[in-house]
Structure formats: C-alpha cells, structure tokens
Amino acid sequence: MTGLDPAAPADADLVAEWRSLLARHAATSCALDRELGERHHLGMSEFEVLERLSEAGLPAGQGLRAQDLALTVHLSQSALSRLIGRLEKAGLVERTLCEADRRGIFVALTDAGRTRYREARPTHRDVLAGTLGDASAENSADPA
Amino acid sequence: MTGLDPAAPADADLVAEWRSLLARHAATSCALDRELGERHHLGMSEFEVLERLSEAGLPAGQGLRAQDLALTVHLSQSALSRLIGRLEKAGLVERTLCEADRRGIFVALTDAGRTRYREARPTHRDVLAGTLGDASAENSADPA
DNA sequence: TTGCATTGGTTGCACGTGCATGTAGTGTAC
DNA sequence: GTACACTACATGCACGTGCAACCAATGCAA
C-alpha cells in the first residue's frame, strides 16, 4: 500500500494527523470548559479573551480594539461582540469608546477581571498539563 | 525567565502548543465545514460519521451500533442521535433494530450515503492537504 | 457640500450542541 | 412473578455560534 498510488499514503497520514488533532482538541477543550466553568464561572473563550487582555499589559483604563481580539481568538466578530457583552455584564471587562476612530471600541480588564484571570490561570495550566502533556487525552474527557 | 521558576517555561510551552492546536483546529474545521457544506451539503461531523460507516466495510444492510460511533466521533450521545436523524432524513443512512439487544440500533449506509461519501471524500482530503499540510493555516480560514 | 464605498461593531435568526430527563429494554435478586 | 438498578437511545430545553442584515462613522471623490 506504499508504492502503487502516490496519493494514498499522504492522504492516510493527513487523515491520521487530523483525527489526532480532533481528539486532542475535543479532550482538552471539553476538560477546559468543564473545569473553568465549575471553578471560575468562565468558558474557554472567555478565559482566552481575559488572557489576551492581560498579556497586552496595558495600564488600567486602556484596552484592546475588539478587532485585534478577534484576530487572536478564533471567533466570529458577532460571537466576540456577545462574548464581550457577557464579560462586561459580569463586570470583568469594560467597553470604552475609541476617540480616534469612533466606530471602534476599546476593551479593558477591570480589577475584578484581572483577579478572576489570576485565579483561573492555574486551573487552565493544570488542565493543559493533564491533557496535552499526558497520553491520557485519548478518552478521558469526551463530551459523551 | 528560564531558570528562576521551573514551572514557567513548561507552562509557556504548553500554552504555545495549545494555541497552535486551537489555530489549526479552527482553520481546518472551518474550511472543512464550508467546503463540505457548499459542495456536498454535509457538515464536518456528518462526513466523519459517513466515513466511519464506510470504513467499517460492512455488507449492505449491516450497520454499526450508535454507541460505537459515539466512541470515534467526538460528540455527545444526544448530538449523535440527532445527527443520525438528519442523515436518515437525507436518505444517507438507515436505522435498523438490533435483534440481540432491542435497546440498541444499527446504523447503516444506504447506497445514496455511499455515493455521497465517495463524492465528498476528495474535497475532504483537499482541505486537509491545504490547511494541515501547508503553513498557510494561520489566518486563511477563521470564522471571522 | 453631497454621494458612495468601506470599515467597526451590534442584532435577528436559524442551527447544532450538551445537559438533564424520559422511555424502552435488559439483567439480577428476591 | 415483582422490584430494582442499569444500559441504549430519544427528546425538551437553554445556550453559544455563524451568517446575513443593519447602523454608525470614516475616507474619498466629484
């Protein structure tokens, strides 16, 4: 099965890689959602946004453009808009107008948001270590 | 930042790996859903189920237990039940009673299902080659 | 100025998903 | 036989998502 059809082996490799990626993604994102949700009332994407905002390291009051967030978090702009809405309602971020271009908005962490992120971060790292690091990611945390 | 805290570097590696996985998953699954949807009226998970059924290589009329399908496709049991319902309504699979254990069901490909899978398979492989193979997966197919 | 294309963000809607629950069938103990 | 725990699948419901449509602001051209 290795020399007859030049396309078949490459396909098999690709499919195997894709399935492995699917399995690791499913196990990790599921575990992440569960742990972050139970312990910190955060979804996976919520945490990801808080992390980006925290990494930006902007002084309190300053924020990131929603557009810039959408580039790093893999969400549609509508989903991001609603996600920011949720975080804002929870008091974790603030929307502020962008003076330079009044179409845009800045999204900034509040103190509560910074605190929540600091609390949730160890959980996030633990789950990653448990599912990506170990080989136990096979069937440990499927949605089923 | 490399010798002071023994946990920090490992964390950074894990996070980097996780973000890479997220990016590749988002790009590939999004492209897959779009291409399979446009060209073959199939979702990613639908195709995955058809593929598992096809790989089982059972004689026409025989099928897989829904439970066995749930193990390989990363879906909850309820999601799988509805997915099978959709495929059945589309005439691509058939539900048949399991005589031995009448709680269970067999899911079997119909001829139409086999045909649809054969048609969709090259598209699936092309997308995989285009997003997993190339380094162009960075920003080519985000939902945004 | 007016007009038009483009960009940034929000909202109506349909859809797929997971959780909890319901229903039918199985196996075991009494 | 009856009762009870358990399994396999289906369904009600709430929620997050993407798409398309929308509105406001900007930039450019005539």
> A7-133, which class in CATH?
mainly alpha
Give B138's pLDDT tier (boundaries 50, 70, 90). very low
- Residue (of A143, A7, A84, A70) closest to B79 by Cα position: A143
Three-state SS for chain B is CCCCCCHHHHHHHHHHHHHHHHHHHHHHHHHHHHHHHHHHCCCHHHHHHHHHHHHHCCCCCCCEEHHHHHHHCCCCHHHHHHHHHHHHHCCCEEEEECCCCCCCEEEEECHHHHHHHHHHHHHHHHHHHHHHHCCCCCCCCCCC
pLDDT attached to residue B141: 52
Answer whether B21 sits within 8 Å of A10, measured CB to CB. no
d(CA B73, CA A67) in angstroms, rounded, equals 34
pLDDT attached to residue A64: 78
The pLDDT > 90 percentage for chain B reads 64
pLDDT attached to residue A5: 53
> Is domain B8-133 in CATH 1.10.3720.10, yes or no?
no
Mean pLDDT of chain A: 86
**Closest C1' nucleotide to A34's CA:** C18
- Which residue in A74, A128, A142 is closest to B74 by CB distance? A142
Mean pLDDT of chain B: 86
- Residue (of B42, B44, B121, B119) closest to B87 by Cα position: B42
Contact yes or no for A33/A131 (Cβ under 8 A):
no
pLDDT attached to residue A62: 67
The residue lying closest to nucleotide C21, measuring its CA against C1', is B78
Task: State the smallest CA–CA distance between residue A26 and chain B in angstroms.
Answer: 7
pLDDT attached to residue A9: 64
d(CA B1, CA B7) in angstroms, rounded, equals 11
Q: What is the mean pLDDT of residues A15-41?
A: 94
pLDDT attached to residue B45: 96
Q: Would you say residue B125 has pLDDT above 50? A: yes
Q: What is the mean pLDDT of residues B101-120?
A: 94
Indicate the burial class of A75 (C-beta count within 10 angstroms; 0-12, 13-18, 19 or more).
buried
pLDDT attached to residue A3: 44
pLDDT attached to residue A133: 76
The pLDDT > 70 percentage for chain B reads 83
What sign has the CA pseudo-torsion A49, A54, A56, A62?
Answer: positive
d(CA B29, CA B33) in angstroms, rounded, equals 6
Q: What is the mean pLDDT of residues B96-105?
A: 90
Q: Would you say residue B71 has pLDDT above 90? A: no
Q: Would you say residue B136 has pLDDT above 60? A: no
Residue of B25, B36, B45 best to disrupt the A interface, most CBs of A under 10 A: B25
Token pair in block for residue A129 = 């270590």
Q: Would you say residue B114 has pLDDT above 60? A: yes
Q: Would you say residue B4 has pLDDT above 80? A: no
